[in-house]
Structure 1
Amino acid sequence: MLGLKQVHHIAIIATDYARSKAFYCDILGFTLMGEFFREERNSWKGDLALNGHYTIELFSFPEPPARVSHPEACGLRHLAFSVDDIDAAWQLLQQQGVQCEPVRIDPLTGKRFTFFADPDGLPLELYQA
């Protein structure tokens, strides 16, 4: 066995770094731990934490290709976050102008969830813990 302990981080490439940084920090509540401009790549890298834990590497690259999302494409399907109160979280996202699908119930677990997207269309999910 490899001895994996947990997911260390998730890397996301944004077309507009400032817009995505504002979305993840100001709307979703991540904290910017560090920010670096890599001149040789003309690329920003932001290290974002969720509840004090390093979670997301947010990158920018000049003219990245569009993500194939619809219909379902091979690869990362979505990124899910757990919440205690999905109705309150759904309402807060709506107030920030983030369009969410109606809250549904997972037929396998009986838990409530909804989907929405980041500024580049990356599918995100809220899942009531």
Structure 2
Amino acid sequence: MAATAVAAAPAPARRPLRVLVVEDNADSRQMVCEVLEQLGHTVSAAADAEAAWAWLAGREIDVLFTDVSLPGMSGIGLARQLLRRSPATRVVFASGYGLESLEGLGFPAVFLRKPYEFGELQLALEGAG
């Protein structure tokens, strides 16, 4: 009798995180959100830093997952602004550019270079945790 391969679901993260995804590319934003939800996290999303900042009014998150290069305020600017208000928030940056834009940040962050694998995304969240 032949064995049938069954795709394994992603392993759940250590604990569910409240993650805000900020990504201007709609397809990328949707895909990241779907993966994070499959990993058991509570996910919200915004297309730019200004919308993210407005959404954050009165809300707390565990992790900011943001593209570095966004229209208007950059992901770095958003992270700095958020960390002034909520210094315990962890930051994960995603970018297709090099690390040069992240030199001298002045705060801890995890960096994912685009394109990245979903396993790298999971590891980045664990590294931010």
The structure carrying a bigger strand percent of its residues is: 1
The structure carrying a bigger helix percent of its residues is: 2
Give the TM-score normalised by the residue count of structure 2: 0.30
